[in-house]
Amino acid sequence: MPSTSEEKTEENVPELPEVETVVRELRPRLVGRRITRVEASALPLRQPWSSAWNRAVTGRRVRELSRRGKWIIIQLDRAMHLVIHLGMTGQLTVVAARTPRLPHTHLVFDLDRGTRQLRFRDVRRFGSATLYPNAAELAHSFDESGLGPEPFAVSSKYWCDRLGTTKRCLKAILLDQRVVAGVGNIYADESLFEAELHPARLASDLADLEADRLRVAVKSVLRQAIEQRGSSIRNYVGGSGLKGRYQDEFRVYGRAGDPCPCCRTPIARIRLAGRSTHYCPKCQRSSSK
């Protein structure tokens, strides 16, 4: 867990493993159900919920749930897509309607006969819920944002080409959603440790073998985190309301001053790309080995 006051106040947006966990846990709870009523609080999310969307989604059945980067995509009848971003503190769960409603619940979707509800709770209100009338408009929105490929679909050639043509540091590259979608602060640190690469190294300085080692490490770390249902540091819970367990597996993130699990050197913390960055000075040297 974070060990300095600065780290304790630094928020982390749920990353790919957390969002994937929410999708996997909501899928059996939502697919096939019909939205029968929508209730929105008076406090707006980052993207204000439109009253016109209440009418548009009412009566629509949930056809599928998927993920793109850090976005949750709920496909409805007539090709409508409800797209949700959890922001920093968002929680999306399906619960019995009789379950007491927690503070900061900003959207409630009654399902079927109203015995169960899909609830979106967000303390900080940096999350969003947006309705797209069809798949083409959703795809256009993602294209306009320049959202990069999914980590599991990144080829060695693409990765080496992107890293070889930029003078930015590796930490900044991993955080850039235009390069690869879904990776954030936690899994950038953990992936760089897995690949034995210093976070401040310039991407263009890497040999192709080093760059590919990082590509493989990102996929490996993300898969491990998904198996553990993501990382619950503060607000994150899965679609079932349960917390993740990967925070117990952190090797460098949030462990400044603790011994490296491989060599016992104290984990260091610096600031890169505007984020706290954790690494082992011995295992992740600043130049190639």
**Catalytic residue IDs:** 14-15, 70, 275
d(CA 281, CA 267): 7
d(CA 267, CA 261): 9
Assess contact for 225 and 231: CB atoms under 8 A.
Answer: yes
Q: Which amino acid is at 129?
A: A
Residue among 196, 205, 192 nearest 263 (CA): 196
d(CA 120, CA 86): 9
